[in-house]
Structure 1
Amino acid sequence: MFVRKLTLALALAVTGAGIAAAQSPTRIQQFNAWGAYSYQSGKSKVCYVLSVPKEKTPASVDHGDVFFLVSQRPGQNISYEPQVMVGYPLQENSKVTVTIDQKNFTLFTKGNSAWVENAAEEPALVTAMKSGKSLKVAAKSRKGTATSYTYSLSGISAALKQIESCK
């Protein structure tokens, strides 16, 4: 089941990144709640870490497949780019809030994904993930439903270390 979700996540990430052709991902290693993966996209390699939420609210709605990932795309000069992916369309022009311990980060939305609004804050978000205890995502569906997801940060530092030399 996790492999199916991973394949879906990769397909969505590939679509979101505008990459035309990619091969199936290879799982490098699992680090508690976070897995490290890679795949070949054209002549360059893409590496990422991914986790699924341990809690989803409200429990009464179908969230679909939900992921938080951080990707490295050296061929595009992209390093440690955080992304939220959900299994439903997000409300247009809405913001997603990522809270790590007491620190908030604002993400912009497009389709079913969200990225850090101010790219200069990406390193701060990744640093907060490495030292934080939990990560919470608050979003709003296209239908206006407020949703939230809680992730464990156990294993994130080791998973990120695993992909730091992605080339």
Structure 2
Amino acid sequence: MLNESTLPFFPRRANRLVGLSLATALSVAFAAAPIPALARDKPAPAKDAKDKKDAKSTEDSAQDAGKKDKKAGKNDKADKSAKPDKADKTDKAGDRGDSGGSGKPEQLGTYGEWGAYLAVSGRDKTCYALGQPKDRQPKTKLKDTPGYVFISSRPGEGVRNEVAINLGYATKDGSAATAQIDGEDWELITKGTNAWVKDQGKEKEFVGALRGGGKLIVKAASSKGTTTIDTYALKGLSDALARVAQECK
């Protein structure tokens, strides 16, 4: 059952939730849903020796070019002192809000243990499924820190079903974590407060396992070494993702 104390940005109203059906309770709980972590928050993929050598060569070339540009730039310094065109400022303001939308999530529906959401900011559109763990172990102070699983799509960036697992606490960047779907283990890697599928090439397969699974168990550790085990029910996720796909084609 939902623990009202774990809900994000949400006043405690336990008395008002007593007697509500699970679907209604989830609808209320997810009304203040957070925005999912984005791809820029992901850990960078590991590079092999050849990639590192090529990157070093590219960096050296860039530094040489930068020195030449800096020397040439001295002659243009006077031109840079000119004030920017007022019309440019107007154009930039228009770009931010041409399509409307404040970025605040709008709930599209509740499906079992999951919710489907839409967030629009300017021309950017994000749709995502969101679920909370039914249980967190051990019962330390981290038990009251909200965790979430986001599966998001951003059609403007060509992103479909990107998985981000928010742990609700700081981790040691690059540390290992695991996700278990009905007994099958998947490797995760952490950065900040999030965990991601370590092998991004397997993310589609991972989402497929979530769709057809019954239970997800996420095991990770905080930056202080405290290990947590979050258990999610996957009932309704497949329908939530179908709604996400419908909204963000």
Q: Taking structure 2 as the reference length, what is the TM-score of the superposition?
A: 0.61
Instruction: Identify which of 29, 33, 38 aligns with 2:109.
Output: 29
From the superposition, tell whether residues 15 and 129 of structure 1 become closer, same or farther in structure 2 (CA, over 3 Å). Answer: closer
Instruction: Indicate the larger mover: 49-58 or 93-102.
Output: 93-102
Question: CA separation in 1, counterparts of 2:158 and 2:173?
Answer: 28
| TM-score, normalising length: structure 1 | 0.88
Partner of residue 140 from structure 1, selected from 221, 224, 227 = 221
Q: Conserved in 2, the CA contact under 8 Å of 1:107 and 1:116? A: yes
The answer to whether the Cα contact below 8 Å between 2:188 and 2:198 also exists between their aligned partners in 1 is yes
1:140, 1:102 → 2: CA distance?
A: 20
Bigger proportion of residues as strand: 1
Mapping 1:15-164, distance limit 5 Å: 23-63=103-143, 64-164=145-245
Which structure is higher in RCO with an 8 Å CA cutoff and minimum separation 6?
1
Give the percent of matched residue pairs that are identical in Structure 1 and Structure 2.
Answer: 33
The structure with the largest helix share of the pair is 2
- Residue 148 of structure 1, CA deviation: 0.7
* Alpha-carbon distance in 2 for matches of 1:47, 1:15: 14
Q: Is the 8 A contact 2:33 2:105 kept in 1?
A: no
Give the AA of the match of 1:97.
T
Does 2:29 align with 1:9?
A: no
In 2, the alpha carbon distance for the partners of 1:72 and 1:22 equals 18
Q: Secondary structure at the match of 2:161?
A: strand
Any conservation in 2 of the 1:80–1:126 contact (CA below 8 Å)?
Answer: yes
Q: CA deviation at 1:110?
A: 0.9
Q: How many equivalent residue pairs?
A: 165
Residue by residue, what CA displacement relative to the aligned partner does 1:131-155 show, whole Å, maximum 9, x if unpaired?
Answer: 1110000001000011110000010
Distance 1:72 1:15, change over 3 A: closer
RMSD of Structure 2 on Structure 1 (CA)? 2.4
| Structure index of larger Rg | 2
Do the aligned partners of 1:33 and 1:156 also contact (CA within 8 Å) in 2? Answer: yes
Could you tell me whether the CA contact under 8 Å between 2:171 and 2:193 is conserved in 1? yes
Q: CA deviation at 1:125?
A: 0.9
| Aligned mates of 1:134, 1:148 — CA distance in 2 | 13
Unaligned runs of 5+ in 2: 11-29, 43-95
SS of match in other structure, 1:93: coil
Q: How far 1:42 moved relative to its partner? A: 3.0
